[in-house]
Structure 1
Amino acid sequence: MSNIYLCVLLAGLCVLANCHHVPGHQGGHDGHEHPQEDQPPTESHQENGLLSYRKIAPSALDFTLKFYHQVHPKADGKNIFFSPVSIVSAFLLVALGAKGNTLDQILSGLCYNQSMTSMQEIDDGVHHLLQWLNRPEAKLELSTGSALFTADKFQLQQEILNKARDLFHADVVPANFKNPEEAVTQINSYIERKTHGKLVDVVKGLDPEMAMVLVNYVFMKGYWEKPFNHELTRKKAFSINNETTVQVDMMYRDGYYLTYHDDELDCDVVQIPYQGNASALFILPQKGKLHQVEQALGREVFLKWEASQKLRRIELSLPKVSLYTSHDVKEALIGLGVTEVFTDQADLSAFTGHPDLKISKAYHKAYLNIHENGTEAAAATVIEIVPTSLPPAVIFDRPYLLMVADHVARVPLFFARIMNPIEH
């Protein structure tokens, strides 16, 4: 039994460390927003694939939250950051080669209901979603893609090759696994190039008997629609827990945001828009309420927050973040019922015509950098007229949750739990 070694990775939210000015920013040095009216991003493009990628959006949100429920109990006190788009894309690429119960488990684990959504609809949705996310004219710089590094003896069926290239924009690259060091260098170089140097030396070692390494990457660089003022960033205390605090660079901005206070879950929700078609939803539980909010996370909660948000003026304090994370995707997917593909009973025969493949590893590396000029995305139309009275303050000085989503496709791109903004 040969092994497919699956590598899923993400590079990060906004790498803008040397950027000090965003064209069109009207904020004054006082930290207040000058009155201005912004036009919302339009959907007049009427992309052919709009309905097809929105059809798979509910499954994408469900998977994001179910995956989070798998990883957060095992990450006690640690940061969590992952890209559901990356993980789903990678395993749908695996699904091209799967049959029978192996295929059914993969689709079910990714939260697709085959009685409601056909495989053709899933393929069409993912294809058009990736086209939308990778469009070169977007204000939000986002690139995602895949690569199949294959051994010489591992001949993919032509139909699979065509689908991998057409549906997933996948590169198919020959690799000499008999020389593991050469193959490691080749794959790491590809990853480093595609993630703009943010993820290096991801693959540490390879089995000479490897059949294929599947890599998926996501890279995002975004600018806040209303950036924070560098001059107002100050050192502030961030409470990791009741016993531990760290000093962080706390950004500050007085302005209008879509916000909501959930009395039932005792948390504040703030949406911060990017330039472009994305937004970041920050969820700040009250002290001692993080676990309660985590346990309640589900599609209904997010729909309630979306419907309840109102445009309000607040004093927003948000810490700068720089972190790397790693997650065992195999362990999480086994918890979601995707088991057979990792065993000798796996049926991945559509890849080669022979049922002699299984996945040996699946892991996810991620990098996140949040600062004054960018990192997130938002879908709000904001009209800001600042009154003279002091607004309420929302201070992210304790652990919080974060979801970045494309608001046209209505799919989550990244999800995070920030326990310590400065932990590497």
Structure 2
Amino acid sequence: MGWAALAGSLAALTLGCAHLQAQPVDPMPAPYANQGNTPSQAPALTSELTQAHLDFGFALFEQLRQASPDNNVLVSPTSVALALAMAYNGAGGETQTAIAAALRLRGLDLDQINQGSQALTQHLTQLDPEVALDIANSLWVNQDLPVRADYIERMQAVYGAAVAALDFGTPAATERINRWVKENTRDRIPTIVDELPADQLLVLVNAVYFKGAWSEAFEPEQTRDRSFTLANGETIQHPLMAQRGDYLYLETDQFQAVSLPYGNESLSFEVILPAQGTDLADLAAELTPENWQSWMGDLRSRPGQIQLPKFQFDYEADLIPALQALGMGIAFEPGRADFSGLSKLEAFINQVRHKTFIEVNEAGTEAAAATAIGIMPTSIAMPPEDPFEMVVDRPFVAAIRDRSTGALLFVGAIVDPS
């Protein structure tokens, strides 16, 4: 069973031209992590980049949802965008232009992208001391092939990337990368790469880990098996949690939407439930960045009751077909791709793997994501309203977002919570 980018039922990062060759392993810098700082306002230079991440995230989500309309889907736009930003730093010419277009960067220059990525990462990981939110990057290079030292330095300085030189012809290389991913997702994603060719030039990896307790936990004794209607019309019995309270809520002819906050309420879990008789695909077609921002802006506090499924699942996808559809095809073409910013060798992207995990229960939500990009040489407050009732008993969309910047950490479609 897949995950649709935390959106089930729409429940909604100098040495000039010198090269690195056969360098020893550099010490692993600590990932960006929540250090218990008090929440701060969004740093400068994040708004345009956050908007680009939002646009890219919904476009990527829709590509993946269409590829698996009957399965759960879960994608982390933040993880994929940060990994692609690192690849973008090494791209040139038409390849760089294509990556920028896929990422919806709209004319941002390299310094703006890097400074914005750094500022957004620091903002997210310091947002709420009550929530665990860690973002880590790493760069794994072939010890026998040339990678520009200035590129490596930039990845370390801007993206906090851990760097190591490996012998990709040995199983130990894959094991090392997977161990790093497992550690930085707290065991939730144990592997991200399989066997790597001996002449793999490098692998870029991003990992995101999130664990947040609801601001108001669900009472376990209120959880009981209730009916949930699958997309095919079949009804199953599944545990639904239940709670009453005041929530940010929106209801239209098309859907109900509710926002469930974590911790100090900087981050929240968004659930969008299609109206009875409205298909999830029809609602997903309306899930544009403009509509999303309008819907989030229209949420108003209102008393009511929510019933929400408990669920847990893993999702994985090869992102190359989706990224090709978004206009990045040249980056995957040997002989046409240009990654002259990271190596003197001709090179192209030969893999983009994305894996996610999510668990939603009475206490809160745990979610993790990892993205690996392999680069291969070509040759070598309103008046009181009536209480609402929202029973999430059919496919829905879900998302985890930062309420201040709108940054979309996860978005997915849940069609089967079992």
Which one of 65, 78, 84 corresponds to residue 72 of structure 1? 65
Deviation at 1:255, TM superposition (A): 0.6
SS in structure 1 at match of 2:365: coil
In the alignment of these two chains, the number of paired residues is: 369
Q: Which residue of 2 aligns with 1:39?
A: none
Q: Which residue of 2 aligns with 1:161?
A: 152
Which one of 268, 271, 274 corresponds to residue 282 of structure 1? 271
Q: Which residue of 1 aligns with 2:10?
A: none
2:259/2:269 contact within 8 Å kept: yes
Deviation at 1:351, TM superposition (A): 0.6
State how 1:9-24 maps to structure 2 within 5 Å. Answer: none
**1:129 correspondence with 2:120:** yes
SS in structure 1 at match of 2:153: helix
SS in structure 2 at match of 1:93: helix
Deviation at 1:156, TM superposition (A): 2.5
Consecutive unaligned residues in structure 2, runs of 5 or more: 8-36, 368-380
Amino acid at match of 2:160: H
TM-score by length of 2: 0.83
Deviation at 1:133, TM superposition (A): 2.2
Q: Which residue of 2 aligns with 1:198?
A: 188
Task: Give CA-to-partner distance per residue, 1:243-287, whole Å, 9 cap, x none.
Answer: 322222110001110111122xx1001111111421111100023
**1:237 correspondence with 2:227:** yes
2:358/2:366 contact within 8 Å kept: no
Deviation at 1:410, TM superposition (A): 2.2
2:141/2:164 contact within 8 Å kept: yes
Between 152-161 and 62-71, the greater mean CA deviation after superposition: 152-161
Amino acid at match of 1:414: F
2:227/2:238 contact within 8 Å kept: yes
State how 1:290-305 maps to structure 2 within 5 Å. Answer: 290-305=280-295
Deviation at 1:45, TM superposition (A): 3.7
Given the superposition, is the C-alpha separation of residues 238 and 107 from structure 1 closer, same or farther in structure 2, using an over 3 Å criterion? same
Amino acid at match of 2:88: A
Q: Which residue of 2 aligns with 1:5?
A: none
Given the superposition, is the C-alpha separation of residues 401 and 190 from structure 1 closer, same or farther in structure 2, using an over 3 Å criterion? same
Consecutive unaligned residues in structure 1, runs of 5 or more: 1-10, 14-41
Which one of 248, 266, 272 corresponds to residue 260 of structure 2? 272
State how 1:214-363 maps to structure 2 within 5 Å. Answer: 214-263=204-253, 266-276=254-264, 277-289=266-278, 290-344=280-334, 345-352=336-343, 354-363=344-353
- Structure 1 vs Structure 2: percent identity of aligned residues? 26
Q: How far apart in 1 are the matches of 2:6 and 2:58?
A: 20
Q: Which residue of 2 aligns with 1:19?
A: none
Deviation at 1:46, TM superposition (A): 4.8
Given the superposition, is the C-alpha separation of residues 44 and 391 from structure 1 closer, same or farther in structure 2, using an over 3 Å criterion? closer
Amino acid at match of 2:146: Q
Amino acid at match of 2:260: I
**1:409 correspondence with 2:401:** no
Deviation at 1:355, TM superposition (A): 4.2
SS in structure 1 at match of 2:243: strand
Q: How far apart in 2 are the matches of 1:46 and 1:401?
A: 28
Q: How far apart in 1 are the matches of 2:70 and 2:364?
A: 26
1:279/1:404 contact within 8 Å kept: yes
Deviation at 1:92, TM superposition (A): 0.4
Q: Which residue of 1 aligns with 2:101?
A: 108
Given the superposition, is the C-alpha separation of residues 185 and 159 from structure 1 closer, same or farther in structure 2, using an over 3 Å criterion? same
Deviation at 1:137, TM superposition (A): 6.6
Which one of 94, 108, 127 corresponds to residue 87 of structure 2? 94
Deviation at 1:134, TM superposition (A): 2.6
Given the superposition, is the C-alpha separation of residues 299 and 282 from structure 1 closer, same or farther in structure 2, using an over 3 Å criterion? same
SS in structure 2 at match of 1:216: strand
Amino acid at match of 1:282: V
Given the superposition, is the C-alpha separation of residues 65 and 258 from structure 1 closer, same or farther in structure 2, using an over 3 Å criterion? same
Given the superposition, is the C-alpha separation of residues 134 and 156 from structure 1 closer, same or farther in structure 2, using an over 3 Å criterion? farther
Deviation at 1:160, TM superposition (A): 0.9
State how 1:39-78 maps to structure 2 within 5 Å. Answer: 45-46=40-41, 50-78=43-71
2:218/2:362 contact within 8 Å kept: yes
Deviation at 1:326, TM superposition (A): 0.8
Task: Give CA-to-partner distance per residue, 1:286-339, whole Å, 9 cap, x none.
Answer: 234212111111122112212322211111000001000012211111000001
Q: How far apart in 2 are the matches of 1:135 and 1:368?
A: 21
1:259/1:310 contact within 8 Å kept: yes
SS in structure 2 at match of 1:52: coil
Amino acid at match of 2:337: A
SS in structure 2 at match of 1:349: coil
SS in structure 2 at match of 1:255: strand
Between 147-156 and 188-197, the greater mean CA deviation after superposition: 147-156
Deviation at 1:356, TM superposition (A): 1.3
**1:368 correspondence with 2:361:** no
2:222/2:242 contact within 8 Å kept: yes
Given the superposition, is the C-alpha separation of residues 65 and 46 from structure 1 closer, same or farther in structure 2, using an over 3 Å criterion? closer
1:239/1:399 contact within 8 Å kept: yes
Deviation at 1:44, TM superposition (A): 8.0
Deviation at 1:359, TM superposition (A): 0.8
Deviation at 1:65, TM superposition (A): 1.0
Q: How far apart in 1 are the matches of 2:290 and 2:75?
A: 21
Q: How far apart in 2 are the matches of 1:43 and 1:59?
A: 27
Given the superposition, is the C-alpha separation of residues 390 and 306 from structure 1 closer, same or farther in structure 2, using an over 3 Å criterion? closer
Deviation at 1:103, TM superposition (A): 0.3
SS in structure 2 at match of 1:102: helix
Between 141-150 and 152-161, the greater mean CA deviation after superposition: 152-161
Task: Give CA-to-partner distance per residue, 1:118-176, whole Å, 9 cap, x none.
Answer: 22211111011111223397222101111111111233222211210111111111111
SS in structure 2 at match of 1:246: strand
TM-score by length of 1: 0.82
Q: How far apart in 2 are the matches of 1:69 and 1:343?
A: 24
